[in-house]
Structure 1
Amino acid sequence: MIVVIIVNLSTGLCVLCEDYASGPVRLTVVSFFSFVISYPNTFARKTIGFLVFKSFGQSVMSVDATSRATRKSLQPEVGLHSDATTTSAGEHPHLANQPYEENSAAPGEEALYTEEVRESSAVEFQLSDRLTLSERVRIPSGGQIALSPPYKCSAQVTLLDGECEMFGANLTPGKVYEFIYPQRSVMASFAGCQVFVRKSGYIEPTTVILGDPYPDMVGWIHAVLEEQRLRAEASQQYLRGPAIMVTGPMDSAKSSTCRTLLQYAIAAGWHPTFVDLDAGQQGISLPGMFSMAIMDSSTEAHPERGAMTQRYVLPLGKINMNDDTLLCRQQGECLAKEVQRSLDKARHLESSGVIINTAGWIDRHGFISLTEFAEIFHVNLILVMDDAHLGHRFKKWIAETEQDIEILYCHKPVSLALRTIEARRDYRDHVVKSAFCLPDGSPTQWTIVPLNKLIFYQIASFHNVELRNGKKIAVCNQVSGPSTNLSRVLAISSATTLECDVKSFRVLGFAVLLRFSTPANQAWIVSTMDLNRVRGQVILLRTEVMAGGIRHLYPKEELFAEPVPTTRTPAKPFRYPVNQVHHGGGY
């Protein structure tokens, strides 16, 4: 008997199911294909998949797929093997005691997948309100798997036996690693391992990829860096460790390569300095910033960003660095000075070297900025990811300027797929939401701050401003009002006055303006630090990163409720004149 299930893979809901199983039925996947439906002029998208099974030896009854109560009462679990059972996330460790058999398929069953996927076993499908797929996957030596959950879906991975690494860090056996859209990851094994994968919301089987040269190439690059670190540590004279800048187009695994090289260095006992110049997809701070951090294995590792300490963040305010190339250079110079001050504090930090991540901005202006960053940070190695033409441009520039820089080349992982514009936007929203929410996903409590205590400020290298009399002047920074900064990520500057170069001061934290009332002199703000404890005025730097999803987490009846009156007498509200321009600092 053939069972056909039509699934909306974007939401994970079963939209049509004929011959729905009334109990456990052994099924074999016959075919699977899907297509994407896009709606013009909107961000809506829908992926429809057709999953065809072949059943063995059990009667099948028809059930209305739209009846949620019927599905809950039946709670069917269908698997490829009769001994397959549904396993929750907390029960994963007991699977490590079960030995893996190479030929675990039931006698007489046909092969499930192609040569690359034949290592998967114990696959089970649970058809309920939300589709789930659980499978035990064996990764052979030199193999890897990629997890990229679709929209509103998630995946969990547990290492059962063997050794497996993710971005250079070894997975802990029995620990559940969860990836929620738009997160994605690649797990590789050099000695072979077995993992338990549980997917929620989509049922695409996991593919084992063999023969990808990326892991070996990254290991070779680490060996080059390790040789330079040992040489710098053993030198009697002042000798700096390696300074490598990772470049390449968008979605060429620049960030993943940096994280892998950082984890390899930490495992070898080093404390490298990580510099992130990718303002759109930040790995240390929130988008719209330039940042640096020292990697330290003694600190608790962030699930996405690793173990970092001594973070130093400078404001940029831009996502598209092409909007203000001069500001990018100025902020890069300020960050390079801070990196050098940090390296001068300890010889071990100097020997550990610097790893620099860059944006996928490699056009004419982007390439010029990359060469400027290479000179500012005194780079001696440039790693080009998956773009031979970019490597030839760097070689030509090195020959013309007589720079002492070596060019390295690396392929991107085969399993790495290109991200859409919507996926990039969703990832930025995910990072912003993670900064202003508790570990359980609930939002932090907002606070009420006097409005006249806040100064909304926009930094720039220079831009033209038209005054009321029609004249245009070139200015670098500008004071703005609260109305143009609602639901926007604002950087809390460490500067205490506008009579200085504000953009050269580090960022202390971030805030989102949820609501304000000028007559009451009150501003409703959610922030990563308590602004009421800050003496004097607080300078909030405007960014292009929107945080509308943060405001939607708070109920309107709670956010717009009348606040409890305070005993303090409200100060006179600070008035923002139209088109007021501040000329101080940063020319």
Structure 2
Amino acid sequence: MTDSTKESTKEFTLERDCELRFEIESKTQIIVELKSGFAELYGTELVKAKKYTFIQGAKVAIFSYQGCVLVIKGTPDVCYIARETPMIQYLNTHSAIEQMREKADERGTTGPVTLVVGPTDVGKSTLCRILLNYAVRLGHRPIYADIDVGQGSISIPGTICSLLIERPAHIEEGFSQLAPLVIHFGHKAPDFNNELYKICVSTLADITMERLKEDKRTQSSGVIINTCGWVKGQGYQHLLHATKAFKAGIILVLDQERLYNELLRDVDSSVKVVFLPKSGGVVERSQQARAESRDFRIREYFYGSRSPLYPHSIDIKWADMKVYKIGAPSLPDSCMPLGMKAADNMTKPWPIQPGPQLLHHILALSFAENVEQDVLKKNIWGFVCVTNVDVERQTITVLSPQPRPLPNTVMLLSELQFIDSH
């Protein structure tokens, strides 16, 4: 326990339908305990008398429908009780989705597929977490799909993923990350390669919708999809593409009326478009904060967060590596081979000669064993990070979550980099 947790112990009484919000920006930890009443964190119920620890970077909103007393040890950078909160509207949204699940279960059909959209920093991933937690608390098994390549709530940034949710998220650590389906994109935003992003989303949608059919309870539970915050121009076209790819029946629009009205105009009339307000506790992040968040997610993949992991350092000969990058610099159609378009160039695997240019880059290990297989539609074993390049010996050293040998497979270069400071 740090000194800061000994400095201050405060008791907060929340009335009905109120929320305690706090942020931790400094290198300290805050301990929260539910003394009496009932409270939840993004849909996960707090257990009375159990101590929950939150660390630097945490942005927390503990809500109570019936009122409660919370004890906080430590001094958050920001801390206040909010009496105006959208949680009742979020609960009503969950209730409407729940009715669709019940009808799907009775008919033996696919449950509601819900797309959560909105600009950056409006609480899309938080709303997804709330809706997923409410679903599993009622015995459902929904699938969570995350097509936001910028932050990576399931895997590392630069990927899109889906995950079967079977139990509520852990208060401190979120959802269990066991057995996610991960598709490699390799960039921190869709506009780095729009054509590739569309293929990745379509691939994830096809596999996810097939997975729904494997279990009756999962099929009726449906899918909840988190999206990128890019909602203008090509970003808006990506939202329309995702709606069609996943066959979404509900679109929840957070905070932006313009986007809500555009979607009402452009999507099929069978799709329900619902406008919801964002929480007043949502904080707009700077570019630096976003970069730090990406770095933290990658670090967490290799080293863990609360439960430490111990990755392995492995040397690989250049001759044993099959490294590819998806997409080459764009060229005008007139410069392309006969019958080939510039868009094709952006979705083709290009071989990369191992060398110093790989230093600090993330490499995705594809399930495709050779490039003749459709590497764009294969999911990922896992990731390694290049920590050293020895030109004389023609070897590279990678940081790997698992010991040698690595799968003998195609490695896909990611533009994301991670500098290992351990």
TM-score (norm 1): 0.66
Matched, 1:336 2:205: yes
Cα contact 1:254–1:385 (8 A) shared by 2: yes
Partner of 1:17: none
Measured in 2, the distance between the counterparts of 1:541 and 1:131 equals 48
The one of 59, 74, 81 equivalent to 1:208 is 81
Count of aligned positions:
410
Measured in 1, the distance between the counterparts of 2:286 and 2:27 equals 15
Partner of 1:43: none
Matched, 1:526 2:399: yes
Q: Cα distance, 1:408 vs. partner?
A: 0.9
Measured in 1, the distance between the counterparts of 2:401 and 2:91 equals 38
The one of 353, 356, 374 equivalent to 2:243 is 374
Partner of 2:105: 233
Partner of 2:96: 224
Matched, 1:427 2:299: no
Q: Cα distance, 1:491 vs. partner?
A: 1.4
Measured in 2, the distance between the counterparts of 1:455 and 1:465 equals 25
Partner of 2:40: 165
Q: Cα distance, 1:139 vs. partner?
A: 1.8
Measured in 2, the distance between the counterparts of 1:390 and 1:370 equals 10
The Cα offsets for residues 531-557 of structure 1, whole Å up to 9 and x where unpaired, read as: 4153x3x32222222211xx221xxxx
Cα contact 1:133–1:203 (8 A) shared by 2: no
Mapping 1:196-345, distance limit 5 Å:
196-199=71-74, 204=77, 206-212=79-85, 214-235=86-107, 238-297=108-167, 301=170, 303-307=172-176, 309-345=178-214
Measured in 2, the distance between the counterparts of 1:457 and 1:496 equals 12
The one of the two structures with greater contact order (alpha-carbon pairs below 8 A, sep at least 6) is 2
Cα contact 1:283–1:305 (8 A) shared by 2: no
Moved more, 448-457 or 188-197: 448-457
Q: Cα distance, 1:465 vs. partner?
A: 6.8
Residue type matched to 1:459 in 2?
I
Alpha-carbon spacing, 1:302–1:449, altered in 2? closer, same or farther (3 Å):
farther
Alpha-carbon spacing, 1:496–1:487, altered in 2? closer, same or farther (3 Å):
same
Partner of 2:321: 454
The one of 53, 62, 69 equivalent to 1:187 is 62
Measured in 1, the distance between the counterparts of 2:362 and 2:171 equals 21
Measured in 2, the distance between the counterparts of 1:268 and 1:407 equals 24
Alpha-carbon spacing, 1:540–1:176, altered in 2? closer, same or farther (3 Å):
farther
Residue type matched to 2:27 in 1?
K
Instruction: Give the percent of matched residue pairs that are identical in Structure 1 and Structure 2.
Output: 22
Structure with bigger helix share is: 2
Alpha-carbon spacing, 1:339–1:205, altered in 2? closer, same or farther (3 Å):
closer
Alpha-carbon spacing, 1:547–1:302, altered in 2? closer, same or farther (3 Å):
farther
Alpha-carbon spacing, 1:205–1:257, altered in 2? closer, same or farther (3 Å):
closer
Alpha-carbon spacing, 1:371–1:331, altered in 2? closer, same or farther (3 Å):
same
Measured in 2, the distance between the counterparts of 1:185 and 1:482 equals 44
Partner of 1:363: 232
Matched, 1:546 2:417: yes
Alpha-carbon spacing, 1:303–1:447, altered in 2? closer, same or farther (3 Å):
farther
Q: Cα distance, 1:297 vs. partner?
A: 1.9
Partner of 1:490: 363
- 3-state DSSP class of the match of 2:80? coil
The Cα offsets for residues 481-511 of structure 1, whole Å up to 9 and x where unpaired, read as: 3422211222111111122221211111111
The Cα offsets for residues 244-303 of structure 1, whole Å up to 9 and x where unpaired, read as: 1000011111000000000000000000011100001111111000101110129x8484
Measured in 1, the distance between the counterparts of 2:308 and 2:73 equals 21
Alpha-carbon spacing, 1:422–1:153, altered in 2? closer, same or farther (3 Å):
farther
Matched, 1:350 2:219: yes
Measured in 2, the distance between the counterparts of 1:239 and 1:410 equals 27
Alpha-carbon spacing, 1:355–1:423, altered in 2? closer, same or farther (3 Å):
same
Alpha-carbon spacing, 1:331–1:440, altered in 2? closer, same or farther (3 Å):
closer
Partner of 1:103: none
Measured in 1, the distance between the counterparts of 2:51 and 2:416 equals 32
Cα contact 2:24–2:76 (8 A) shared by 1: no
Measured in 1, the distance between the counterparts of 2:14 and 2:415 equals 42
Measured in 1, the distance between the counterparts of 2:163 and 2:283 equals 28
Measured in 1, the distance between the counterparts of 2:184 and 2:369 equals 15
Q: Cα distance, 1:440 vs. partner?
A: 5.0
**Runs (5+) with no aligned partner, structure 1:** 1-87, 90-125, 554-587
Q: Cα distance, 1:464 vs. partner?
A: 3.2
Cα contact 2:8–2:73 (8 A) shared by 1: yes
Q: Cα distance, 1:442 vs. partner?
A: 6.8
- 3-state DSSP class of the match of 2:411? strand
The Cα offsets for residues 434-453 of structure 1, whole Å up to 9 and x where unpaired, read as: 11114455753322233322
Cα contact 2:53–2:172 (8 A) shared by 1: no
Q: Cα distance, 1:374 vs. partner?
A: 0.3
TM-score (norm 2): 0.90
Partner of 1:35: none
- 3-state DSSP class of the match of 1:373? helix
Q: Cα distance, 1:136 vs. partner?
A: 1.9
- 3-state DSSP class of the match of 1:458? strand
Mapping 1:561-576, distance limit 5 Å:
none
Q: Cα distance, 1:419 vs. partner?
A: 1.3
Alpha-carbon spacing, 1:331–1:205, altered in 2? closer, same or farther (3 Å):
closer
Partner of 1:409: 275
